[in-house]
């Protein structure tokens, strides 16, 4: 059996940076460490941190903290969260991904100039929620074609379109075309400003995953169930490989997946540790 593992599989720069910051805090002997939401969308990593004394806190519970260090994860947070940290006098470690910080700056500056911000992404995702928290006025979040078609562009304001960093590039381009047509009444103000803020690592990961899946009999996508970028990888691979499986660990594998399979492809989301990827590859190699 031939097994191909994507070179881009596993932790991205932003996730690795956030994890390193938290483990550095532990090594320095810091106590009462909290992360604003789960540090990453990987249950095993979060469990390991909890066992080491790193706790999860949500925005509603921050006010009850005293003498604590709070880590803002790579997804980022809204401006109101930073103000709350300052008011409480909490030590803050900002592990927001630089690609996400760039979007925060864009929507803040553009909305202050009067642009109407359109965010392509999932409104329930913490990254998108953080981006919304930097908009100075009304904004819209659009995640699919139906929502794009239903969107009514304001007549008197120019649009500025950005994207969640982990969004599917092809879908982003599809939604942008719909929005452009919907904003025909803005012709006096000029065409919408379209900013592809999908991070370069995500684009490369998606491109490589599609290429591997297209030449594989079976494609394995490894990642936590709540990981947005892993879900996007699964969607992309499923389009070109009918036998695509979304798994979290080797436990999810079974022999039926590999019947009459000569080529197996493996990729993983940005929150998947290298150790799990290697365990899956080894399990496939030795057991099937």
Q: What are the CA-CA distances from residue 100 to residues 6, 106, 139, 201 (Å)?
A: 24, 10, 17, 13
Identify whether the C-beta of residue 65 lies closer than 8 Å to the C-beta of residue 57. yes
Diameter of the chain measured on Cα atoms: 64
CA distance 272 to 229: 11
Catalytic center residues: 127
Identify whether the C-beta of residue 192 lies closer than 8 Å to the C-beta of residue 159. yes
Structure tokens at 194: 């379209």
Residues 96, 97, 102, CA angle at the centre, nearest 5°? 100
Structure tokens at 83: 């103000």
3-state percent breakdown (helix, strand, coil) of the chain, nearest 5: 45, 20, 35
Could you write out the DSSP letters of every residue in 9-23?
A: -S--HHHHHHHHHHH
Beta strands in the chain (DSSP E): 2-5, 33-36, 54-57, 69-72, 91-94, 116-120, 139-142, 159-163, 193-194, 218-222, 244-247, 263-268
Cβ count within 10 A of residue 72: 22
Enumerate the β-bridge partners of residue 126.
Answer: none
């Amino acid at each position: 059996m031939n097994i191909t593992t994507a070179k881009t599989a596993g932790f991205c720069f932003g996730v690795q940076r956030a994890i390193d910051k938290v483990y550095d805090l532990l090594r320095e002997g810091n106590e009462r460490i909290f992360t604003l939401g789960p540090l990453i969308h990987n249950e095993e990593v979060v469990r390991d941190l909890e066992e080491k004394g790193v706790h999860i806190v949500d925005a509603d519970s921050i006010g009850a903290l005293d003498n604590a260090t709070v880590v803002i994860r790579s997804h980022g947070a809204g401006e109101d969260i930073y103000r709350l940290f300052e008011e409480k006098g909490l030590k803050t470690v900002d592990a927001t991904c630089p690609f996400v910080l760039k979007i925060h700056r864009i929507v803040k500056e553009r909305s202050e100039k009067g642009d109407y911000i359109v965010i392509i992404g999932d409104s329930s995702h913490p990254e998108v929620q953080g981006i919304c928290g930097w908009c100075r006025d009304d904004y819209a979040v659009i995640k699919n074609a139906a929502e794009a078609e239903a969107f009514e562009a304001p007549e008197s304001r120019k649009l500025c379109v950005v994207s969640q960093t982990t969004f599917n590039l092809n879908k982003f381009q599809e939604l942008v075309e719909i929005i452009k047509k919907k904003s025909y009444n803005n012709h006096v103000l000029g065409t919408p400003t379209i900013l592809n803020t999908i991070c370069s690592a995500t684009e490369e990961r998606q491109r490589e995953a599609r290429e591997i899946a297209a030449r594989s009999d079976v494609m394995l996508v490894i990642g936590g169930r709540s990981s947005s970028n892993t879900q996007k990888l699964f969607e992309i691979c499923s389009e070109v490989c009918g036998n695509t499986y979304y798994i979290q660990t080797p436990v999810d594998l079974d022999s039926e997946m590999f019947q009459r399979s000569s080529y197996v492809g493996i990729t993983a989301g940005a929150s998947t540790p290298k150790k799990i990827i290697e365990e899956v590859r080894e399990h496939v190699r030795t057991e099937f």
